[in-house]
Amino acid sequence: MSTVNTEKLSSARFAEATDAFVEVFTASVDFDQRMAQQDIQGSLAHAEMLCKIGILTAQELQDIQNGLAQISKEIADGEFKWSIKQEDVHMNIEARLTELIGIAGKKMHTGRSRNDQVATDIRLYLRNEIDTILAQLSRLQHALLNLAAREADTIMPGFTHLQVAQPVTFGHHLMAWFEMLARDRERLQDCLKRINVMPLGAAALAGTTYPIDRRLTAELLGFSRPSNNSLDSVSDRDFAIEFAAAASLIMMHLSRFSEELILWSSAQFDFIDMPDAFCTGSSIMPQKKNPDVPELVRGKSGRVTGHLVSLLMLMKSQPLAYNKDNQEDKEPLFDTADTLVNCLRAFADMMPHIRAKKDNMYRAAKQGFATATDLADYLVRKGMPFRDAHEVVGQAVRLGIDSGRDLADISLPELRQFSDRIDEDVFDILKLEGSVAARDHIGGTAPNRVRAAVEAAREQL
């Protein structure tokens, strides 16, 4: 029979040592050590509270504070010795603290469990990550606003079904991306309200018999309040799933942006010039300039969505309260945050260097009869029912297709053969500039509305 592993702080219950493979298989320290600073932050607040209620002496608190400060420095300097035998970040830090300061280190865990400790650490970690993500989102939004202001008058085709539909401005199109990110920002900020609730003090699942002051601990850690139910506090990860859902939506939006950038930079569209620093060449085709950054971001959106599904499946069949399954929440959560931050950073760095090929955009907008709806609206304003106007415009479009001309290039006599309501003023709206300028309302594509939207957005940010 194996001897008992006395290195583990929690080994006294067992008559046999942990199987060597199981020890490695069940350990999480290789990845959860990333939350070391959050763990130390939580322990400092918990220890201060324990001192306030008389569990720790002032000297013991000072020893704990000094010891944790040394451990924090060791970790930052890469000198801390992580041990799989101690399973996770919490036990590694506690073991080292006890080694440094003796019995006071063993007292630090009074009134808490690793169950509420890890739930607190994850929330502290996500708070920090959301701050970073919001900063990168802001950078990208500012870059979009600058580009939209610069391209407020640049006419391009608007698409439905990837077919030319109506003319819009490039600035207006970019502001659509901005609006998506604005909603993403709101979702993250709303998610943060539910993350910022403190589970510490729930202990293993039922609370503790010690007279702890959870409001004090919450205040010390910057949480809005302590959680209301100890069972729920340690067992649910819906706050992490909500973060992953918000991250998946952001990545879905970035993937849509990527798809358009990839299309627009192709020879078939040739709408934009992608900055060289964000593209690569081909190993055998010297003419190639591949939009690798948007392609990779588009690919990584599937990775983040996969993590969301993984977390949902992780939680869906767990009975109350804590289960070892929840050790599997960290790697997808960490990778989600890392991937999102990096993708936002790449886009924020790249966006200021996007250059519109205005002539190509303009020519493309003239293909596909983009002002056909403008002609129908013109006839309606002249008193014709919309369905009749739709039929008249269809006939005019057929003439344009047969003769290879845009509507604006068809003569007045030719247009009047379809309706005598058409007069010389029709050409004001058949021109692309007239079409976009006519959409002069809140949310419209008129250049002055785009500029107004940009200024309003700057005030929001």
Q: Which residues contact 89 (CB under 8 A, 6 or more apart)?
A: 28, 29, 32, 33, 34, 35, 36, 39, 121
173 is catalytic: no
In one-letter notation, the amino acid at residue 406 is D
In one-letter notation, the amino acid at residue 32 is D
Alpha-carbon separation of residue 158 from 260, 332, 393, 439 (angstroms): 12, 38, 19, 13
Please, is 276 exposed, middle or buried when counting C-beta atoms within 10 Å of its C-beta (0-12, 13-18, 19+)? exposed
In one-letter notation, the amino acid at residue 382 is K
Nearest CA among 412, 396, 400 for reference residue 367 = 400
Catalytic residue of the set 161, 283, 411, 441: 161
Q: How far is residue 102's CA from residue 239's CA, in Å, rounded to a whole number?
A: 36
Catalytic residue of the set 11, 266, 282, 403: 282
**Residues 438, 373 contacting (CB under 8 angstroms):** no
Q: How far is residue 245's CA from residue 312's CA, in Å, rounded to a whole number?
A: 10
419 is catalytic: no
Q: Which residues contact 407 (CB under 8 A, 6 or more apart)?
A: 369, 371, 372, 375, 396, 397, 400, 430
Q: State which H helix or E strand residue 206 sits in.
A: none
In one-letter notation, the amino acid at residue 372 is A
Q: How far is residue 49's CA from residue 46's CA, in Å, rounded to a whole number?
A: 5
Residue positions annotated with a catalytic role:
161, 282
